[in-house]
Amino acid sequence: MTREERLLAAVIDAVDTLVDDFDLIDFLHTLCDRCTELLDVAAVGVMLEDPGGNLQLIAASDEHTRLLELFALQHDEGPCVECHRNGMVRLNIDLASPAQTGPFPVFASRARKAGFLITHALPMRLREDVIGALNLFDSRAQNLSPADARVAQALADVATIAILQHRTIAHANQQRAQMQAALTSRIVIEQAKGILAERWETGVDAAFDALRGHARSHRLGLTQLSRQLVDGQLDTDGIQRP
């Protein structure tokens, strides 16, 4: 697809939040895919605010990024954490520059060890309501162009509107349950990834790609399929191995 077609596809993904069986986890993983494709970055992570106001890692494009984002949350530092707090965009952060990474030196060191040189953090915000942050990582020492920065913020904005729209459709007392369900789904998906990776003796990223591919080809929700696998109700021989 052309760049314009991929942008349109991202918007269409957001419109799907209006359907009853909308899968928040799958939508945010798709957002990560769109960002890596459109912005030519190495990795993407998405953090959302839970009902208690704390950030939670909900989606990441690969295992290195997932672990790095979890590290940021555990140590309460990093551009994504700051972005959520102040709602400010941080672009073209040189992870090797103490002047730019002064507020989060431990995170910067961990990110460099993971192979990243540049990072960007964009708020997921509607007016004054900041519900999370989008973190982009690049393994090359290249800045995000002004045009790509606008695309990145547009994708973050589309995702924010989609999530808030879905929350609006749900009854007010279901909003807390939705976020809790997303966190529970994430745990089930991580368990399923680990089972496949161990069984196949492969990486968790390859296992996750196979899991998502099987869910889509069989029109199953990612969380539903993962729970079947964890509960032993799914024959993994039917999943195409990477």
In the predicted model, is pLDDT for residue 31 greater than 90?
no
DSSP summary character for residue 229 = H
Question: Residue 224 has what pLDDT?
Answer: 93
pLDDT band at 42 (very low <50, low <70, confident <90, very high): very high
Domain ranges of the chain: 3-169, 184-238
Q: Helix/strand/coil (H, E, C) string of 139-207?
A: CCCCCCCHHHHHHHHHHHHHHHHHHHHHHHHCCHHHHHHHHHHHHHHHHHHHHHHHHHHHHHCCCHHHH
CA distances from 95 to 20, 108, 134, 153 (A): 42, 5, 17, 21
Residue range 219-242, pLDDT digits in tens: 999 999 999 999 999 888 888 887
Question: Residue 241 has what pLDDT?
Answer: 83
Question: Residue 16 has what pLDDT?
Answer: 63
Residue range 98-113, pLDDT digits in tens: 999 999 999 999 999 9
CA distances from 217 to 15, 88, 114, 212 (A): 21, 39, 32, 9
Question: Residue 129 has what pLDDT?
Answer: 87
d(CA 96, CA 100): 8
Residue range 159-218, pLDDT digits in tens: 898 888 777 765 555 656 777 878 888 899 999 999 999 999 999 999 999 999 999 999
Question: Residue 123 has what pLDDT?
Answer: 95
Question: Stretch 4-30: mean pLDDT, rounded?
Answer: 72
In the predicted model, is pLDDT for residue 74 greater than 90?
no
In the predicted model, is pLDDT for residue 82 greater than 70?
yes
Place of tokens 């999530």: 163
Question: Stretch 127-156: mean pLDDT, rounded?
Answer: 92
Buried/exposed 163-192: b ≥16 CB within 10 Å, e otherwise: bbbbbeeeeeeeeeebbeebbebbebbeeb
3-169, CATH topology level: Beta-Lactamase (3.30.450)
* CATH architecture for segment(s) 184-238: Orthogonal Bundle (1.10)
Structure tokens at 92: 């073209």
- Average pLDDT value over all residues in the chain: 87
In the predicted model, is pLDDT for residue 53 greater than 90?
no
Poorest-pLDDT segment among 24-28, 53-57, 130-134? 24-28
Structure tokens at 156: 């973050």
CA distances from 77 to 54, 102, 136 (A): 13, 11, 16
